[in-house]
Chain A
Amino acid sequence: MSKQSQTPKAAPAPSRSMLLDWLAIQRNRITILMILAGMAMVLPLVANNYVLEILTNAWFYVVLCLGLNIVVGYAGLLDLGYAAFFAVGAYTTGILTSEFGVNFWLTIPVAVVASMITGVIIGGPTLRLRSDYLAIVTLGFGEIVRICARNLEITGGASGLIGIERPSLFGLHLNQINHFYYVFLALAILACFISYRLQHSRLGRAWQYVREDEDAAEAMGIGRVAIKLYAYVIGAIFGGVAGCFFAAKMTAISPETFMFQQSVLILVGVVLGGMGKIPGVVIGAFALVLFPEVFRGIGSMRMLVFAVVMLVIILYRPEGIWPARRT
């Protein structure tokens, strides 16, 4: 009630001082980003393997969350089976390297194509559905992918694949956690960059139009199915590529990693941080990884505390942790 009680104030017209303020924020933002990036870069010099492992995992989830953010945050589609795309990437790399001896880097384009195809297969016929139905379809699809991975011979069945080759980069064999730390940091930065560019493009706007009002968007000449499919496929590529590197880092993958809970976890990261807001999603991904790790000491209460904190955050900030762009 109280929100509505304020009479509609005219939004401040952009004045000169506002402009200066805005520029200052912009400058500050860049400084903050530089400092954070610098910290991220030098971290492996001071941190031990455990910390690096955790942070590598965090960067990895940043990529996944940003990928899902394109589907959920930008295009407004509920996806409960995102782990499927991640699985497609991981298994593509896993199968190609361990069974056929293909070079890791060559598996990435294959994984991209595979995840695109998967995205189209699932998205094509179902994106016409309204969001709640889409939820169950994506959920079912995620389960189908996992069950296939579990039952098929080529995916190594329930035990999964082991002995996935780790790649070399410019002659350096990526074999230590700090290597992977940088690999995933680079992936995360790339994911942020691509997300940013997409968000502020014709396509990004189209996603926002469709999310805000499908019918009005249609009336403006934006084909909603095609636009949603675009989001789906790009989100799938993010997941697929992240999966490739995940497989290389873990050297062993099994279907357990791609359960429904994984999809939910990624979704939680996106929504908790703030759908559609890149810094929010990054924070969400970090919270996802750091929180359970920091509170591991409290044992069986840990996930309960996590769930309660999550509930409280969502109740107090339904739009996510990160403040909205404008009100």
Chain B
Amino acid sequence: MSTLDILLQQLANGLILGSFYALVALGYTMVYGIIKLLNFAHGDLYMCGAFIGFLFLSLVSGLLGESWGGILCSMILSMITVGLLGVLIQRVAYLPMLAAPRLSILITALAVSMVLSNGVMALTDGEYEAFSTDLGFEGLEMGNVFVTYTQIALVVSAALLMVTLFFFINRTMYGKAMRAIAIDQDACRLMGINVNKVITLTFFIGSALAAAAGVMAGVYYGSVHFFMGFVIGLKAFTAAVIGGIGSIRGAMLGGLVLGLLEAFGTQIPFIGSEWKDVFSFGILILLLVFKPTGLLGKTEIERM
């Protein structure tokens, strides 16, 4: 492989990984945008999504087979279930805490995260479950750059979900209300918007997106595990902050940027791949020092 080939392949890798991060980061950013909460449990919702998808797939595979039909069906079911779980979490854990000190609500989010991951751990005995699907390794070969059909399907579905979300946010009344709430809650109340309802909806959508990503991960990587949400949660959080937390477009951009950073971070000459996380976190910190609101975040003017 020539250097160019390697770089092209890494570009492809980065974009695939990045679209994934973006999907999870969207949920983070939506929730943050609307109630200014860093939902640490988001990565765990992704994990729950993967497990529930796994469960549904084993249930429906008898009817629909383990191929695309079954996967799609279980993905949708998982999105709905996890969406409702997200709503439940918001109602039980976050709603009563909105008036509490900010740190307390963050700890609540951490606690919810621990409840979810430990709950799944207790249920599964900490085992890895094989998410066996019979998707092949065939793919497109362009020069020395190789992308499997599964990867293409993955990126396409992530893109579809994001486009749908984008459409929802920009074209529907509820989507517009969501953006408006992020700007000014009281003004929204005065427009006759039931703010609590919209917040609930936001949690539903954010969680459902995480679940979709979880199922896709389960299908693509082939295993699910109670711990799988942790790393991706961290990465998605990072991606959301890079893009400017609270910004939908920022989350998408941040996801791609982080994916590319990691892909090329593995490839930096002289230092090994073991430093790639130092590389991406280092860039993140530098970015925040010089542009504290992330790439697409808005600077807020505070009035006395």
Contact = CB atoms under 8 A, between A and B. Distances in A.
B129 interface: no
A20 interface: no
Interface string A215-228: 10000000000000
Contacts of A136: 237-238, 241, 284, 288
A318 B97 contact: yes
Nearest to B292: A129
Interface residues of A, number: 44
Nearest to B110: A264
A315 B288 contact: no
Contacts of B32: 132
Interface stretch (B50-58, B178-186, B275-283): B275-283
A268 B126 CA distance: 23
A139 B234 contact: yes
- Which of B97, B106, B282, B285 has most chain A Cβ within 10 Å? B285
B135 interface: no
A310 B278 contact: no
A78 interface: yes
A131 interface: yes
Interface stretch (A107-115, A159-167, A233-241, A297-305): A297-305
Max chain B Cβ within 10 angstroms of own Cβ: one of A129, A140, A267: A140
A267 B110 CA distance: 10
A318 B103 CA distance: 9
Interface string A103-136: 0000000000000000000000110111111011
Interface in A181-223: 215
B288 A126 contact: yes
B104 interface: yes
Contacts of A168: none
B192 interface: no
Interface stretch (A8-16, A21-29, A146-154): A146-154
Given A133-B241, A136-B241, A151-B275, A268 B125 contact: no
A151 B275 CA distance: 8
Contacts of B275: 147, 151
Contacts of B274: 147, 150-151
A267 B107 contact: yes
Interface residues on B, range: 35 or more
Contacts of B272: 151
B114 A307 contact: yes
A131 B102 contact: yes
A130 B237 CA distance: 16
A140 B103 contact: no
B108 A315 contact: yes
A275 B97 CA distance: 16
Contacts of B110: 264, 267-268
B106 A304 contact: no
B112 A311 contact: yes
A53 interface: no
Given A125-B289, A135-B38, A137-B288, A311 B108 contact: yes
A136 B240 CA distance: 10
B136 interface: no
Contacts of A78: 102-103, 106
Nearest to A317: B104
Contacts of A135: 38, 106
A310 B111 contact: yes
B139 interface: no
A217 B59 CA distance: 60
A268 to B, nearest CB: 7
Interface in B250-304: 272, 274-275, 277-278, 281-282, 284-285, 288-289, 292, 302, 304
Contact of A144 (B105, B245, B278): B278
Contacts of A215: 302, 304
Given A132-B245, A140-B284, A300 B107 contact: no
Contacts of B36: 132
Contacts of A301: 122
Contact of B118 (A129, A130, A271, A304): A304
A308 B115 contact: yes
Contact of B278 (A148, A308, A314): A148
A322 interface: no
A142 B192 CA distance: 45
A143 interface: yes
Contacts of A125: 285, 289
B101 interface: yes
Given A268-B107, A304-B115, 11 more contacts: A126-B289, A133-B288, A136-B241, A136-B284, A141-B281, A144-B278, A147-B274, A151-B272, A300-B126, A306-B114, A311-B115
6 contacts: A132-B38, A140-B285, A141-B281, A151-B272, A303-B114, A306-B114
Interface of A: 72, 76, 78, 125-126, 128-133, 135-137, 139-141, 143-144, 147-148, 150-151, 215, 260, 264, 267-268, 271-272, 275, 300-301, 303-304, 306-308, 310-311, 314-315, 318-319
